[in-house]
Amino acid sequence: MPKSTIKTDLTITIAGVEFATPVWTASGTAGVGEEIESWCDPKRLGAMVTKSVSLQPRPGHPYPRTVETTGGMLNAIGLQNKGIEAFITDELPRLRRMPTRVVVNIVGDDQDEYVQLAKRLSDEAGIDLLELNLSCPNVARGIDQGSDPMWVGECTAKVRAATRIPLIVKLTPNTNDIASLARAAADHGADAISAINTLVGMAVNHNTFKPRLANVTGGLSGPAIKPVALAAVYKIARAVKIPVIGIGGIMSGTDAAEFLLVGAQAVQVGTATFRHPDAAIRVAEELRDYMQEHQIARVGDLVGRLTL
Ligand SMILES: Cc1cc2nc3c(=O)[nH]c(=O)nc-3n(C[C@H](O)[C@H](O)[C@H](O)COP(=O)(O)O)c2cc1C
């Protein structure tokens, strides 16, 4: 017997902000929104998440900085961006006019830089949420500072005290206990957690005996990391009460549904955007089809529905 058509509702609310759909772009894969408007109707995006912006301009790493791998890609862009002042003058006015939610992703070399960035952006209208990219390696200490729960807690607390804009803390998977990073962020004032950023990886050209990336190592993303991301989101959602935003290898509506089932309230679409620039909108439409098929009216009703 054919299933009846039901009215589906994809809206979700995170930190008091309502989103048209739970499917957003992922930082670094849709720039600062300048191209996306020519490929799709931003009204149909849950949110535009911008490329990480730092205090000072960063030139990024030398080329080659991307390489395709089995089921994914490596990138070593090196957080290239024009710096916060140019972001505010050149990009923010256009972002404000985009008919979607705007999430600004920030990155610092140390805690003080995150605080300065948050303060600077607090004076500006049109930013719905801040996302802290805590996945960058600290050159001085030689480790990924975002993999230290104490550092994550301290940084979150300082930024929380510096701004009223709701905060998403984006976590690195390059750790042996992502749940404790999430707990540290939640205990120190984060409004939501997003996970995961890329996994450290490397590709070698066996003919030239050289690494394929000029930076030697890079960040792995795409379908190859989806199982890692699902497990991370599953663990985080059980460890904290704040919303979790799932990221990692989402290519389709059913991929997004899987993240919601393990406990994510929203998802971000990254690498898929390089195949289809309107991937985030396609994923949302496919998620709607999936909800029809399973007779689920509200997208929120999928969250955490995994049965063990
Ligand atoms: C080319 C590229 C650039 C990225 N740049 C950033 C960035 O600037 N800031 C950030 O937080 N994450 C960045 N990411 C990570 C993505 O936002 C996302 O967390 C990761 O790619 C996993 O999702 P995916 O498998 O859907 O791509 C970047 C990813 C790629 C592929």
137: which strand partners? Answer: 144
Whole-angstrom Cα distance, residue 98 to residue 75? 28
CA 26 to ligand 1 centroid distance, Å = 6
pLDDT of residue 39: 83
pLDDT of residue 129: 98
Number of helices (H), then strands (E), in the chain: 10, 18
Of 70, 198, 213, 274, which is best to mutate to test ligand 1, by the most ligand atoms within 8 angstroms of its C-beta?
198
- Active-site hit among 12, 73, 92, 136: 136
Atom of ligand 1 nearest to the CA of 194: 19
Strand 204-205 relative to strand 210-211, pairing: antiparallel
Residue nearest to atom 12 of ligand 1 (CA): 27
CA 162 to ligand 1 centroid distance, Å = 26
Mean predicted lDDT score pLDDT of the chain: 95
pLDDT tops 60 at residue 174: yes
pLDDT of residue 136: 66
The H or E element containing residue 73 is strand 72-75
pLDDT tops 60 at residue 83: yes
Cα dihedral across residues 257, 258, 261, 263: positive or negative: negative
Compute the average pLDDT of residues 72-91: 96
Whole-angstrom Cα distance, residue 248 to residue 223? 7
Joined together, the tokens standing for residue 306 give 């995994």
Whole-angstrom Cα distance, residue 178 to residue 135? 12
Whole-angstrom Cα distance, residue 296 to residue 271? 28
CA 303 to ligand 1 centroid distance, Å = 23
Joined together, the tokens standing for residue 252 give 């389709």
Q: What residues flank ligand 1, with Cβ below 6 Å?
A: 26-29, 51-52, 75, 77, 79, 105, 133, 170, 197-198, 221-222, 225, 247-250, 269-271
Query: How much is the pTM?
Result: 0.97
CA 287 to ligand 1 centroid distance, Å = 22
Whole-angstrom Cα distance, residue 197 to residue 136? 10
Burial class (CB in 10 A: 0-12, 13-18, 19+), 87: buried
Q: Residue 127 in contact with residue 104, Cβ under 8 Å?
A: yes
pLDDT tops 70 at residue 139: no
Atom of ligand 1 nearest to the CA of 222: 25
Nearest to 196, CA basis, from 213, 178, 216: 178
CA 141 to ligand 1 centroid distance, Å = 23
83: which strand partners? Answer: none
Domains, the chain, in order of start with CATH, read 18-222 (3.20.20.70)
Burial class (CB in 10 A: 0-12, 13-18, 19+), 284: buried
Q: Active site includes 40?
A: no
% pLDDT > 90, the chain: 92
pLDDT tops 90 at residue 140: no
Residue nearest to atom 6 of ligand 1 (CA): 28
Whole-angstrom Cα distance, residue 194 to residue 244? 6
Dump pLDDT digits (tens) for 184-234: 999 999 999 999 999 999 999 999 999 999 999 999 999 999 999 999 999
Compute the average pLDDT of residues 282-305: 98
